[in-house]
Amino acid sequence: MYYGEHELLAGDGAELGRRLADFKVTTEVHPMPAGQHSFILAAGRVPEVDQAIEQMGQWLHQHLGA
């Protein structure tokens, strides 16, 4: 799960990550420094966003298979 550290709901993202861990849900939580809501829309223009997308794909491949 990725969320922008500078978005209005950043606290909710962090809390969701803690709750998922409490319930032993397989997940990873990554706050995006300087990220805002919908930061993913910067794909192809911001290297950090492209890296986050690559990491998401690797996680999905590892946990869900090809």
Confidence of residue 65 (pLDDT cuts 50, 70, 90): confident
**Cα separation, 14 vs 5, whole angstroms:** 9
| Per-residue pLDDT at 19 | 96
| Per-residue pLDDT at 66 | 66
Strand 30-32 with 2-4, pairing? parallel
| Cβ pair 3, 31 in contact under 8 A | yes
Mean pLDDT over each residue of the chain, to the nearest integer:
90
| Cβ pair 38, 13 in contact under 8 A | no
pLDDT, one tens digit per residue, over 3-56 is: 888 888 889 989 999 999 999 999 999 998 877 888 889 999 999 999 999 999
Domain chopping of the chain, boundaries = 2-64
